[in-house]
Amino acid sequence: MTRKLEAVVCDLDGSLLNSRKTVSEEDRKTIQTLKKKGVRFHIISGRPHPFSRQIAEDTGFDSPVSCCNGAYIYDFQKDEVLFHTALIDLEDVLAIRDYCKEHGISYLLYSLEGVIFDRPDSRRCLNWKKQNDTVFKEGNKISFVYDCDGPDLSDLHFVKLLIPYVTEEEIEGIRERFDKDDKYEFVLSEKAVLDINTKGIHKGFALKTLSERYGFSLENTLALGDNFNDVEMLEEAGYPIVPENGEEEVKEKACFITADNDHDPLTHAIRKLFPELL
């Protein structure tokens, strides 16, 4: 059977991005080559759009980006949100936030308007400040807003909560407290990093939404992802690809294990599955 490729969708951290949080030169060339041959490219990331803008610009991803595990689609060309799903109730945002504060757990609040960090000296905030200084160029640098400064949250539209550097015991405590009504998705996006979205919002939903909006088939889509929040996306794609550094359980979903994220994983996968396109 002849293989056909209509679209490529990529997770960022741990997948398309290397350890320096950039895309390799080889993978950039592959993206441009495939684009010239009519293959669509979309980022499907747990990141909000300000945290993906530089990557999109550097790699020529001019198609809309699916953000926060599918909670919304952002168009960098129009600089606007094209679509968003049901929001997280402010009451629940505050309840989870207050629980984290009470138990000394770090957190980030993701809204359509931007990200709110818990405090300036949190580990996650310091990591993003480093990327802001080393990866993001002027005009694409992210702004930092801190919950400890008491910003007004009432007019924000929350789409995801992120709880980094969390233990299994803390995850269980959060789920036991806030998952009673089955309103939310709880999934690890990195080791010890918990994502909370509204129920039914995940990267599989994101991929189906992009497929419907932009007219490419799921069976002719290659998806690259490495972690647990990529599982539904990999299950929907005709060509699920996981890098060597991916989680072992996630690799079980793959039709092909590609090179690790420091060794041109996208190019390696295309050469194996669609060599005629390169």
DSSP line for 171-182: HHHHHHHH-TT-
CATH 3.30.1240.10 domain span(s) along the chain: 90-198
Mean pLDDT score, 166-195: 92
Mean pLDDT score, 134-163: 96
pLDDT range class, residue 155, cuts 50, 70, 90: very high
CATH 3.40.50.300: does it fit domain 7-85+202-277?
no
CA angle 152, 125, 153 (to 5 degrees): 10
d(CA 26, CA 29): 5
**Looking at residue 162, what is its pLDDT?**
97
Token duo for residue 53:
């803008």
Mean pLDDT score, 243-259: 97
**Looking at residue 2, what is its pLDDT?**
66
pLDDT range class, residue 86, cuts 50, 70, 90: confident
Residues in the chain: 278
Beta strands in the chain (DSSP E): 7-10, 40-43, 65-67, 72-75, 80-84, 108-111, 114-117, 145-146, 158-164, 184-190, 193-198, 221-224, 239-243, 256-258
**Looking at residue 191, what is its pLDDT?**
87
CATH 3.40.50.1000 domain span(s) along the chain: 7-85+202-277
Whole-number percent of the chain with pLDDT over 70: 99
The model's pLDDT over 7-50, given as tens digits with 9 standing for 90+, comes to 999 999 999 999 999 999 999 999 999 999 999 999 999 999 99
* The model's pTM: 0.94
Topology of domain 90-198, per CATH?
Answer: 3.30.1240
**Looking at residue 267, what is its pLDDT?**
98
